[in-house]
């Protein structure tokens, strides 16, 4: 899976004012007035979307920058960061969809070339595109948890893949968390989305 490490747009002060009508600092003061960090990320995000009509990209960018300005970190000392999701509905069963993650020959078709795969709890994944992960936990037909090993000096981050039955189809949901900058979040969201497009083509042609 090749990743274009590039943010969709600039998120500096000038870009914030041009896109939202306020500078970062003005948004931070507004969030302070709404209750600040004690209100929580979800509730603050809802305020930004419902009351101020921000789009999801700027809402998440402002929240993460706001948390950074307040020095908010998790127990491991790192910021909570960005969370991205990629979802795809495929004409296949959960078991068939899961199997496309569990065999190197299948991963070669849609994730990247030349996989080396040890698919079990505590196993590993790597390919010629430079993608590497620890297989943390697998639940056949239901869920896979990975620890994605950082690209370009980035720290390791958790990935969860779920397989949800929907009639004759399956919804595949990939959630990638703890991404520490906007470029990583946008790059991985695009890359996972494109990978799921390829997976859908392969599964539905099988």
The closest alpha carbon to 2, from 159, 88, 105, 111, belongs to: 111
So where are the chain's domains?
13-69, 82-205
The closest alpha carbon to 185, from 2, 3, 1, belongs to: 3
Question: How many other C-beta atoms are found inside a 10 Å radius of the C-beta of residue 23?
Answer: 15
The answer regarding whether domain 82-205 maps to CATH 3.40.50.300 reads no
Work out the angle at residue 25's Cα, subtended by the Cα atoms of residues 23 and 30, and round it to the nearest 5 degrees.
Answer: 95
Q: Indicate the pTM of the whole model.
A: 0.90
Rounded to an integer, what distance in angstroms lies between the CA atom of residue 23 and that of residue 89?
39
pLDDT tens-place string over residues 37-92: 999 899 999 999 999 999 999 999 999 999 999 999 998 888 899 999 999 999 99
Q: How confident is the model at residue 150 (pLDDT cuts 50, 70, 90)?
A: confident
Rounded to an integer, what distance in angstroms lies between the CA atom of residue 161 and that of residue 119?
14
Alpha helices in the chain (DSSP H): 13-20, 24-33, 41-50, 56-69, 94-102, 104-110, 182-205
pLDDT tens-place string over residues 119-144: 999 999 999 999 999 999 999 999 99
Q: Residue 169 forms beta bridges with which residues? A: 166
Rounded to an integer, what distance in angstroms lies between the CA atom of residue 67 and that of residue 36?
9
């Amino acid at each position: 899976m090749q990743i274009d490490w590039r943010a969709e747009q600039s998120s500096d002060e000038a870009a914030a004012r041009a896109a939202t009508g306020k500078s970062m600092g003005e948004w931070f003061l507004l969030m302070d007035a709404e209750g600040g960090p004690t209100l929580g990320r979800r509730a603050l995000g809802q305020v930004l979307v419902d009351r101020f009509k921000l789009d999801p990209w700027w809402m998440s960018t402002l929240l993460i920058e706001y948390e950074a300005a307040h020095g908010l970190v998790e127990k491991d000392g790192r910021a909570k960061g960005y969370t991205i999701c990629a979802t795809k509905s495929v004409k296949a069963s959960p078991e068939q969809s899961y199997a496309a993650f569990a065999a190197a020959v299948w991963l070669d078709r849609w994730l990247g070339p030349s996989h080396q795969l040890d698919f079990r709890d505590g196993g590993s994944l790597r390919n010629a595109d430079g993608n590497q992960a620890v297989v943390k936990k697998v639940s056949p037909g239901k869920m896979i948890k990975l620890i994605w090993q950082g690209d370009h000096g980035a720290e390791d981050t958790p990935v969860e893949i779920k397989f949800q039955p929907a009639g004759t189809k399956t919804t595949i949901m990939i959630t990638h968390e703890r991404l520490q900058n906007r470029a990583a979040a946008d790059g991985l969201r695009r890359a996972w989305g494109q990978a799921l497009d390829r997976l859908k083509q392969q599964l539905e042609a099988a």
